[in-house]
Structure 1
Amino acid sequence: MKLQRRIRARSSSSDTASAAFSFPSVGQILHLGVSLGIILAADKLLKHAFAVAAIKFPSALFGMFCVFSVLMVLDSLAPSAAASLMSFFEPATLFIQRWLPLFYVPSLVVLPLAVRDIPAASGLKIFFILVGGWLASLAVAGYTAIAVRRMVKTEMIPAEPMTKPAPFSILELWVWTAIFVSSFVLALINPIALGTSARTCLSFLLAATVLGYMVGSWLPSDIRKVFHPIICCAVSADLAATAYGYFSRTGLDVVLGYYLTKVSSNPGAGDILMGFLGSVIISFAFSMFKQRKLVKRHAAEILSSVIIATIFSLYSTAIVGRVIRLEPALTVSILPRCITVALALSIVSFFEGTNASVTAAVVVLTGLVGANFVQAAMDKLSLNDPIARGIATASSAHGLGTAALSAKEPEALPFCAIAYALTGIFGSLLCSLPIIRQSLLLLVG
């Protein structure tokens, strides 16, 4: 009933509706398509080039360094050119920011397949590392930031304002509902012409995921504390897969297999969503450049906290995994638990015998724990400084924790955004070094 009242309130207020959504012009659509297309194309070209050259370093991270370097050079030589470049790519960065949580969802949707062969005892051990490790990483990052801040005694300066994407409108909800219903019915009534494949299920599974995210974002805040929009859209996609599996008699496992095929020639809805993860990393360059003055002024607090928290996260996970006798392959799979999914998957690719689905699921679940409990935990730990709160949140719960904190503590958001990017960058750089990988494997056993 609360959700219905909120939807009616949105649709009845023309001012709210126009603020939430307006039909884009042809020029705006082209601008978004070109700017986003360039980022996607750059990510794809870099992936191909790195694969051909057999380079294991994350290609998107290299792309991010290149974009950031270009912006910094232009800013020193021709500031107007740097500003124009930022303005040109703003529609793409806002698009990525608006839909960012969706790119994490596929790992949760296919979680029933990923955990099927994991014993219950191992699952409990992973959960223990996930929750305990999140709290420990939060404390390490936060207290490190406070200690360094007391030493350097740098006064805070106002951050650059961060543009927020428009909320979802009732019109968008009806459009995606129509896409879901029509594609679901078509897939059921015309199985001979379409066949049962990832392509058959792609449209309605993608629409179900998007619808779940929209509805989840409209839930009251007290409900979102236990039923995050990411959980809502994962449940929505699983329900759609269950319904199609039942009516088509193909079964849930088959349909979930079509959701995330990991085959470029036959992609599913999850593959489409995860295809944006590289672009997310490249887009970090724009957010870091926008807050370059803040990074420079508070470099000591930010860098020291991120470096110490990332090292602690990786090595404590390896040590605790061995102490509680978690299977080595699973321990290695969850090493990057505090790093954003896009780079966590790149990190585990450095190691052999890992389970990428478990990696992605643990990273997302860590973010969900942080999103729900990070403020209460920091209050209990007396982490009251905005810099410490922002860094601690991002270093322990990456993007989902950042999103949860941003709505209530805007003064901490810039530090969240910076630490969110730098934690993934530094973790990837560390694990790209053979000596670090070998030391982690030695600890894991």
Structure 2
Amino acid sequence: MASLIAIAGLLSTVAVYAAVRRLYGRKPSVLFTPILLVPIVLLLLLAVTGISYTAYNKGANILTFLLKPATVAFAIPIYKHFDLLKKHAWEILGSVLIGSFAGISTSMLVGELFRLSPQVVGSLAPRSVTTPIAMEISTMIGANATLTAVFVIITGLLGFIVGPSVIRMLSIESRVSKGILMGMSSHGVGTSKAFELGDVEGTVSSLTMVLAAIATFMLAPWIVPLLG
């Protein structure tokens, strides 16, 4: 029975995502964003069926595992626009280093301001990078990886919603700058939105997201103990 529930959990997750993705393609509204709507639908399904999250996740967790090798796919657009990325290498690298430091430090300072527990504060620190790497960083610094995943999703969703508005408000015209903003502020979710803005924006966002993950992985073990 447990095996059947695990398989059903996996298949239902894929089916719900495919349906919501199709809906978003027809009606590109924030309300139909897969990262927002899919979890809601799945939670309703679990509530109606009475299946526990633990039982469901025994099958669905394979999708979490596949996030790691899936990041390799970002190499394709990066290769396609390699000359452009090389031309703007220092701008991208500098933005990533500053953004990664700011992301970790401001997250922890806000956590301290609201007097959150040390584990929650540590879980906030890597929220600005893609989920699988953020969870690894969270584990490495002794925080709660599951909680970090929640913060990553919230960060990505907020960036997806607010990012384009910030671009319009600041009158940002550079395609490279748009990509850096989306990739640094909201990782994979922002990158998907960046590709909607344009191929160059999506490519720069992809590279920014990958570099931000590396930078955060290197900086977090130093910054977290210092500010914690």
TM-score (norm 2): 0.90
Count of aligned residue pairs for this structure pair: 227
Q: Distance in 2 between matches of 1:326 and 1:229?
A: 30
AA of the residue aligned to 1:314: I
The Cα offsets for residues 88-139 of structure 1, whole Å up to 9 and x where unpaired, read as xxxxxxxxxxxxxxxxxxxxxxxxxxxxxxxxxxxxxxxxxxxxxxxxxxxx
How far apart, in 2, do the equivalents of 1:208 and 1:230 lie?
15
Match of 1:307 among 97, 121, 125: 97
Q: Is the CA contact 2:67–2:132 (under 8 Å) kept in the aligned structure 1? A: yes
Residue 195 of structure 2 is matched in structure 1 by 406
Which letter maps to 2:225? L
- Between Structure 1 and Structure 2, the one with more helix by share is 2
Structure 2 residue runs without a partner (length 5+): none
> Equivalent of 1:384, from 146, 160, 173?
173
Structure 2 residue aligned with 1:364: 153
Identity in percent: 27
Pair 1:219-2:17 in alignment:
no
- When residues 349 and 286 of structure 1 are mapped into structure 2, their CA distance, relative to the original with a 3 A threshold, is farther
**Runs of 4 or more off by more than 6 Å in structure 1?**
none
Cα pair 1:205 1:237 within 8 Å, conserved: no
DSSP-derived class of the 1:382 partner: coil
Q: 2:39 matched to 1:234?
A: yes
Structure 1 or 2, whichever has the larger Rg, is: 1
Secondary structure of the residue that 2:140 maps to in structure 1?
coil
* RMSD over aligned Cα atoms: 2.0
1:310-325 alignment runs, 5 A limit: 310-325=100-115
Q: Aligned residue for 1:110?
A: none
In structure 1, the gaps of 5 or more residues are 1-193, 246-251, 261-267
DSSP-derived class of the 1:276 partner: helix
Alignment of 1:60-209 (within 5 A): 194=1, 197=2, 199-209=3-13
2:227 matched to which residue of 1?
443
**Residue 361 of structure 1: how far off its partner (Å):** 1.1
Structure 1 residues 342, 287: closer, same or farther in 2, change over 3 A? farther
Q: For 1:276, which of 63, 66, 75 is the aligned residue?
A: 66
Distance 2:121 2:72 in 1: 28
Contact 1:216 1:233 in 2 (8 A): yes
User: TM (normalized to structure 1)?
Assistant: 0.48
What whole-Å deviation, never above 9, does each CA across 1:186-223 have from its counterpart, x for those lacking one? xxxxxxxx3xx2x2211222222112112211225656
Code of the aligned partner of 1:239: L
Taking a change above 3 Å as real, the CA distance of residues 348 and 271 of structure 1, as seen in their structure-2 partners, is same
| RCO comparison, higher one (Cα < 8 Å, 6+) | 1
- Residues in 2 aligned to 1:295 and 1:409: alpha-carbon distance in whole angstroms: 15
Q: Give the Cα–Cα distance (whole angstroms) in 2 for the partners of residues 403 and 385 of structure 1.
A: 18
Query: Is the contact made by 2:96 and 2:212 (CA closer than 8 Å) also made in structure 1?
Result: yes
